[in-house]
């Protein structure tokens, strides 16, 4: 199936009992058994729930995987991946990460004996040179949050596996979605999503997802999901399934609007640098062009007046772009990373990679583009 068909039909079948075209919300915690241990495939909803099962099959289908897993949040999905490791193991991650991921790595799992290295993945040698006998996981975020850096997924995987084939590779595919790139096709072991964002698409749920195509890895992840219990509920699973069905058409508009906003900002006299992988002068443009089908709806930029005061004034003047956490919904959102999503990262570390007071991250929605550009222009001027 082509992607636009797969988001509607992939892994999905009419519900058996009634023929319902849309999977029902099985709002139940437990299931009747005809004899101890004898049931219809469901015993307790922490282990499995029919609505969540339908979602997990859809997630696997759109990422070209064999097994999907839905969690209570994106961070719960990352937590599951890290539980595959043991004390003393080492993780190599990119130097530009979502603040919540960085916080989990440094403030939680370092206490439990994991070690983390942060490298600039623009240079693949930075990754391979950091590998030691204890390295067990490479964590790739691409495009990165918030600086829109692009990692060459296939080359990183090939280079890492050449050093040690047992090292796991994982990609946070939240910004791209499977509409733009499918990391499993590029050799990655695990794909992660904050399904809160584009997968759900309507800012009405919080959810995470993992997709793999390895049977043994799937068994390990399912055990952790079941034993730790950070599962997605049936109502959120229903909403995410609904969101997946319109992912293709939504992403088309997100990409169109994102490109128009990036070009507008690039030509505005009050804007300094614009971070958008669709520009030919973006340092990773050719990689993005190679591994992504388009360039997405996320755009970051800095004002020429690099002060918190000027940035706050701009953000407070927006009318259609809502100042809020998160991204990927149908509505346009504006974010100030220093005080919002990346506030947990120490200032010295933020400044080192370029997250300054004037950096703004936009999640460009699917509204009329003229209205969005007028809103940005008024707020800037």
Give mean pLDDT, residues 361-377. 98
Domain extents for the chain? Answer: 3-242, 248-380
346 burial type by CB count under 10 A (0-12 exposed, 13-18 middle, 19+ buried): exposed
Between residues 354 and 269, the one the model is more confident about: 269
Q: Report residue 346's pLDDT band, with 50, 70 and 90 as the boundaries.
A: confident
Asked if residues 241 and 54 have their Cβ atoms less than 8 Å apart, the reply is yes
Dihedral pair phi/psi, residue 294, rounded to 5°: -160, -170
271 bridge partner residues: 303
Return the bridge partners of 261, or none.
none
Q: State the chain's mean pLDDT as an integer.
A: 97
- The CATH number of domain 248-380, selected from 3.20.20.70, 1.10.10.10, 3.90.1150.10, 3.40.640.10: 3.90.1150.10
CATH for the stretch 3-242: 3.40.640.10
Q: What angle do CA 73, 75, 80 make, to 5 degrees?
A: 100
Residue 224 pLDDT exceeds 90: yes
Supply the pLDDT for residue 200.
98
pLDDT for the residue numbered 103: 95
Catalytic residue ranges: 46, 98, 172, 197
pTM of the model: 0.96
pLDDT of residue 16: 87
Percentage, residues of the chain above pLDDT 70: 100
138-185, pLDDT tens digit by residue?
A: 999 999 999 999 999 999 999 999 999 999 999 999 999 999 999 999
């Amino acid at each position: 199936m082509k992607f636009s068909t797969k988001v509607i039909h992939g892994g999905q079948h009419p519900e058996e009992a009634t023929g319902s075209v849309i999977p029902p919300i099985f709002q139940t915690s437990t299931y009747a058994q005809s004899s101890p241990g004898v049931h219809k495939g469901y015993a307790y909803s922490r282990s499995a729930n029919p609505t969540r099962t339908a979602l997990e099959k859809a997630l696997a289908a759109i990422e070209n995987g064999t097994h999907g897993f839905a969690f209570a949040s994106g961070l719960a999905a990352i937590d599951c991946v890290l539980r595959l490791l043991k004390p003393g193991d080492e993780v190599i991650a990119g130097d530009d990460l979502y603040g919540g991921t960085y916080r989990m790595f440094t403030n939680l799992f370092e206490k439990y004996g994991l070690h983390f290295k942060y490298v600039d993945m623009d240079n693949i040698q930075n990754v391979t040179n950091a590998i030691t006998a204890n390295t067990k996981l490479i964590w790739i975020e691409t495009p990165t949050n918030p600086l829109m850096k692009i990692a060459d997924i296939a080359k990183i995987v090939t280079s890492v596996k050449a050093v040690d084939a047992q090292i796991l590779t994982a990609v946070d595919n939240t910004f791209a979605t499977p509409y733009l790139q499918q990391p499993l096709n590029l050799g990655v072991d695990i794909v992660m999503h904050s399904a809160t964002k584009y997968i759900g698409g309507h800012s009405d749920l919080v959810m995470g997802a993992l997709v793999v195509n390895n049977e043994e890895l799937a068994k390990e992840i399912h055990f952790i999901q079941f034993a730790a219990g950070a599962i997605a509920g049936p109502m959120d699973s229903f909403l995410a399934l609904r969101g997946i069905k319109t992912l293709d058409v939504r992403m088309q508009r997100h990409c169109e609007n994102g490109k128009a906003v990036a070009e507008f900002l690039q030509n505005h006299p009050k804007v300094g640098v614009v971070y958008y992988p669709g520009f030919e002068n973006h340092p990773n443009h050719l990689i993005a062009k190679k591994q992504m089908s388009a360039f997405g709806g996320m755009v970051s930029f800095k004002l020429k007046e690099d002060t918190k005061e000027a940035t706050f004034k701009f953000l407070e003047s927006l009318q259609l772009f809502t100042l809020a956490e998160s991204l990927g919904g149908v509505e346009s959102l504006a974010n100030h990373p220093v005080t919002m999503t990346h506030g947990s990262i120490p200032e010295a570390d933020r400044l080192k990679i370029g997250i300054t007071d004037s950096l703004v991250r936009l999640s460009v929605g699917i509204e009329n583009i003229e209205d969005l550009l007028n809103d940005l222009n008024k707020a800037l001027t």
